[in-house]
Structure 1
Amino acid sequence: YDSSSLPSISPTHPEQKLCHRPLITAVAYLFQFIVPDHLSLNNDTMLQLSSNLVLRWHYCRRIVAAFSTNIKNDELFAEEINILYDSKCNVCKLEMDMLASRDARLHGSKRRIKLTDIESDSFDPNDPANGGISYAKGMSAINAVYRDGRVIEGPKVFLKAYEFVELGWLFKFTEWPLFKPAVDIGYKLFANYRTNFTRGSSLDELISAYEEKKNIVQVECTSSICTTKR
């Protein structure tokens, strides 16, 4: 019996009903990683297994493979989380550099944390990897995007980031019911005035300057004469 004779199927194929039994699904999932795709079942094996079980086994393998591929294709980036930060804030950059260094030391090429500088000219809030976070929102509070598209902000970003570099215990208290309200209020106050201390300008001033800088300049040319309009 050759499994290649079975048609390819997607996770939504009607035959996925064959995988509804937990044991069959579990076995199929394990075989997905330990049994090569070219495996053929000989006659002796066929005598030991019912044709129904064999079909279920192969169909489940196909379904799991298709489902796993779809999950990987839906991921926005390879890392676990993308942190959006202000590189012109010396304190912020120092912390992000520390996280990046520790991440590289612990995980090598398979890093868990992706960093995106919202002050970079290449920053694109419309990039799905940036979670639709605008410059104004990114400057108002620290934001992060999971590779599946979920967005978090505030103290939780620090907790998750430090967990990925095995220092989560430093921020565990921020989730404790007794401390969480005070932590949230304290962070909001800090975020509102952060740039006053770290960059010498208010948040509103920086956002206004950014918007002015990003105004689209339209150039209209007639023959050899060009005029610039904002």
Structure 2
Amino acid sequence: MIIFYDANCPLCTKEMRLLKEADKHNKIALEDINADDFEQRFNHIKRQDALAFLHGQQDNGEMIYGLDVTFAAWQTVGRHSWLKLLQLPGIRFIADLGYRLFAKYRRQITRIFCQSSCGIK
């Protein structure tokens, strides 16, 4: 699985670091969407789209998005099984709305809630 994430977002980077620490069998690759050659290496993904919404690619090439990426990633490493609750009808709708808001305002949210724990000023 490949996760395409915003390494300029301290909260996103922190989650990816925790994910990789849990990835004992190296099943997840991380790709910074801000890399200069990102769009050349992954021409099927527009950087602006990936900045707006988390993108992932399964081993079979299938693209997944948003909370589905988070769920699949933590499931891959065998952690946070409670995330399956976010897949339930009704809850999924609300969780997806919440994620879309988070994705849109992640930098502001990071500044407010994560200054000391994420190492930003």
Whether TM-score is above 0.5 comes out as yes
Asked if the contact 1:174–1:180 (Cα under 8 Å) also holds between the matched residues in 2, the reply is yes
Q: Which residue of 1 aligns with 2:116?
A: none
Give the aligned CA root-mean-square deviation in angstroms: 1.9
Q: Which residue of 1 aligns with 2:35?
A: 120
Asked if the contact 1:131–1:145 (Cα under 8 Å) also holds between the matched residues in 2, the reply is no
Residues 162 and 181 (structure 1), Cα distance of their counterparts in 2 relative to 1, 3 Å cut: same
Whether 2:76 is the aligned partner of 1:164: answer: yes
Q: Which residue of 1 aligns with 2:62?
A: 150
Corresponding pairs, count? 112
Residue type matched to 1:147 in 2? D
Matches of 2:76 and 2:85, distance apart in 1: 17
Q: How big is the shift at 1:185? A: 1.0
Asked if the contact 2:102–2:109 (Cα under 8 Å) also holds between the matched residues in 1, the reply is no
Residues 135 and 152 (structure 1), Cα distance of their counterparts in 2 relative to 1, 3 Å cut: same
Gaps of 5+ in 1: 1-80, 200-230
Q: Which residue of 1 aligns with 2:117?
A: none
Asked if the contact 2:7–2:34 (Cα under 8 Å) also holds between the matched residues in 1, the reply is yes
Q: Which residue of 2 aligns with 1:186?
A: 98
Report which structure shows greater RCO (CA 8 Å, sep ≥6): 2
Matches of 2:22 and 2:6, distance apart in 1: 19
Asked if the contact 2:19–2:74 (Cα under 8 Å) also holds between the matched residues in 1, the reply is yes
Residues 85 and 142 (structure 1), Cα distance of their counterparts in 2 relative to 1, 3 Å cut: same
Matches of 2:35 and 2:75, distance apart in 1: 26
Q: Secondary structure at the match of 2:64?
A: strand
Write out per-residue CA displacement over residues 148-185 of structure 1, whole angstroms, 9 at most, x where no aligned residue.
22101011100000001101413111101131111111
Residue type matched to 1:169 in 2? S
Q: How big is the shift at 1:82? A: 0.3
Matches of 1:195 and 1:132, distance apart in 2: 25
Q: Secondary structure at the match of 1:148?
A: coil
Matches of 1:147 and 1:117, distance apart in 2: 18
> So what's the TM-score if we normalise by structure 1?
0.45
% identity of equivalent residues: 32
Gaps of 5+ in 2: 112-121
Runs of 4+ residues over 3 Å off in structure 1 = 196-199
Q: Which residue of 1 aligns with 2:86?
A: 174
Q: How big is the shift at 1:198? A: 3.5
Whether 2:12 is the aligned partner of 1:92: answer: yes
> So what's the TM-score if we normalise by structure 2?
0.83
Rg (Cα) greater in structure: 1
Write out per-residue CA displacement over residues 93-126 of structure 1, whole angstroms, 9 at most, x where no aligned residue.
01101111111xx22xxx1101000112232x34
Q: Secondary structure at the match of 1:84?
A: strand
